[in-house]
Amino acid sequence: MNNTTETKAKGSFDFGKFISKLGPLVALIVLAIIVSVLNTSFLGINNIMNLLQQVSINALIAFGMQFVILTGGIDLSVGSILALSGAITAQLIVSGVSPIVAFLIGVACGAVFGALNGVLIAYGGAAPFIVTLATMSVYRGLTYVLTNGNPITGAKMNDSFSFQFLGQGYLFGIPFQVYLMVLGFAVFYVLMHKTTFGRKTFAIGGNEKAAFVAGVKTKHILIWIYVIAGFLAAVAGMVLTSQLGSAQPDAGTSYEMDAIAAVVLGGTSLAGGKGKMSGTLIGALIIGVLNNGMNLLGISSFFQQIVKGIVILVAVLLDRKQAKN
């Protein structure tokens, strides 16, 4: 429409604003209430711990995915990066490297894989969807090559306290990976909302050309954003490898979709430029409550997928409707 700016009213969308601010949180609470009414064990401390543990891997990946989506991009390769860096770490541990060193190498590798995505996107000028679709396949293939198609496991992994602790450990009764999720949230919340890096990320997503003209080194920022996505996927890979006690060659398959869903449920626009870190955490929790809750309610796995899809659709449609107002 022509020049709607003239006709736009101010201060009359309080309710809409309220919903857009709290929408995901309201959805989460409503969902939690429904599940806990139908099954009382949902709110048990053990189940809450289970739930948080189940959520943490997706949340970690989603934090990185959100940076990417804020720039208007997408990273389909995170699931493969998770598998590949997990396999590298497992291979190192099995061949005698200390788990802690192996973890550090694993996450560094994840960062490097992300950087490769970033370079191809920023300097190659190719669409993120295509680049990461391709590297998704490449990284997955490398994982199969590295593992020979077999899961990597061994006594060196399962006898090591520090290896097992990452994905199976408890600290004061709370799964260790939950601390990792909280820490990751805190660190990347600050990065996204309190630093110039975060501001430039939003600027690129809002209008890449305008950001460039305003002196933002768009290519550098883009590369770093894919580094973050790769890094966090690798951290999630470390957790998963430890949790399973083995590195599975097909680990993380389609995890990118859950991460994207968490980001979108959290209110981040796929067009970029708009979103909140807290929303993504809530989005991941919504998906977690859905999975956990439907298992508790004994809903068949087939129906679970349908319900999940519908919830995502409804959330996104509501968001669009709200945005149009």
Partner 1 sequence: MKFSKKVVSLLALLSVSALVLTGCGGASIGNSSSNSSKVTKKAKKDVKVGVSLSTLSNPFFVNLKKGIDTEAKKAGTKVETFDAQNDSAKQNNQISDLITKKVDVIIVNPVDSDAIVTSVKKANNAGIPVIACDRGSNGGKLLTTVASDNVLAGKMAGNYLEKLVGKNAKVAELEGTPGADAAVQRGKGFKQAAKGKLDIVTKQSANFDRAKGLSTMQNILQAHSDVKGVFAQNDEMALGAVKAIKSQDIKIVSVDGTPDGLAAVKKGNIDGIVAQEPKAEGRLALQAAYDHYANKKVSKNISSPIHLVKASDYK
Partner 2 sequence: MKIEMKGISKSFGKNEVLKDVNFTVKSGEVHALMGENGAGKSTLMNILTGLLDANGGEILVDGQPVKYHDALDAEHSGISFIHQEMNNFGEMTVLENMFLNHEIKNKFGILDMKKMRTQAQKVLQRLDVDIPLNVPIGTLSVGTQQMIEIAKSLMNDTKILILDEPSAALSEKEIDSLFDIIRGLKKQGVGMIYISHRMQEIFEITDQITVMRDGLTVASYATADVDVHQIIKDMVGRDLSDFYPDRNPKYGETRLEVDHFTSKGVFEDVSFSVKAGEILAFSGLMGAGRTEIMRAIFGIDRHDSGTIKINGKEVNLKSPYDSIKHSVGFLTEDRKDEGLILDASIANNIDLPSIDGFVKHGVIDQKADNDFVEMLIKRLTVKATSREDLAGDLSGGNQQKVVLAKWVGSGSQVLILDEPTRGVDVGAKREIYDLMNELTDRGVAIIMISSDLQEVLGFSDRIAVVYEGHLNGEIATKDATQENVMTLATGGKLDE
Q: Is 277 in the site for partner 1 (CB under 8 A)?
A: no
Q: What CA–CA distance (Å, rounded) separates 131 from 82? A: 17
Q: What CA–CA distance (Å, rounded) separates 192 from 158? A: 36
Q: Is 197 in the site for partner 1 (CB under 8 A)?
A: yes
Residues in binding contact with partner 1, number by CB under 8 A: 75
Q: Is 215 in the site for partner 1 (CB under 8 A)?
A: no
Name the residue nearer to partner 2 (CB basis): 144 or 202.
202
Q: How far is the CB of 211 from partner 2 (least distance, A)?
A: 7
Q: Residue 29 half-sphere exposure, CB side, CA atoms within 13 Å?
A: 5
Binding mask 12-41 for partner 1 (x = CB under 8 A): ---------------------------x-x
Positions in the binding site for partner 2 (CB under 8 A): 1-13, 190, 194-196, 199-200, 202-203, 206-207, 209-217, 273-274
Say if residue 164 is exposed, middle or buried (CB neighbours under 10 Å; 0-12, 13-18, 19+).
middle
Name the residue nearer to partner 2 (CB basis): 102 or 122.
122
Name the residue nearer to partner 2 (CB basis): 193 or 321.
193
The CB density around residue 60, as the number of other CB atoms within 10 Å, is 31
Choose the contact partner of 124 out of partner 2, partner 1, none; CB within 5 to 8 A by kind.
none
Q: What CA–CA distance (Å, rounded) separates 216 from 232? A: 24
Which positions ≥6 away from 250 have C-beta within 8 Å? Answer: 83
Dig out the tokens for 236 from the structure: 């999630």
Among 218, 243, 268, 269, the residue binding partner 1 under the rule CB under 8 A is 243
Among 91, 207, 253, 278, the residue binding partner 1 under the rule CB under 8 A is 253
Q: What CA–CA distance (Å, rounded) separates 281 from 178? A: 12
Q: Is 7 in the site for partner 1 (CB under 8 A)?
A: no
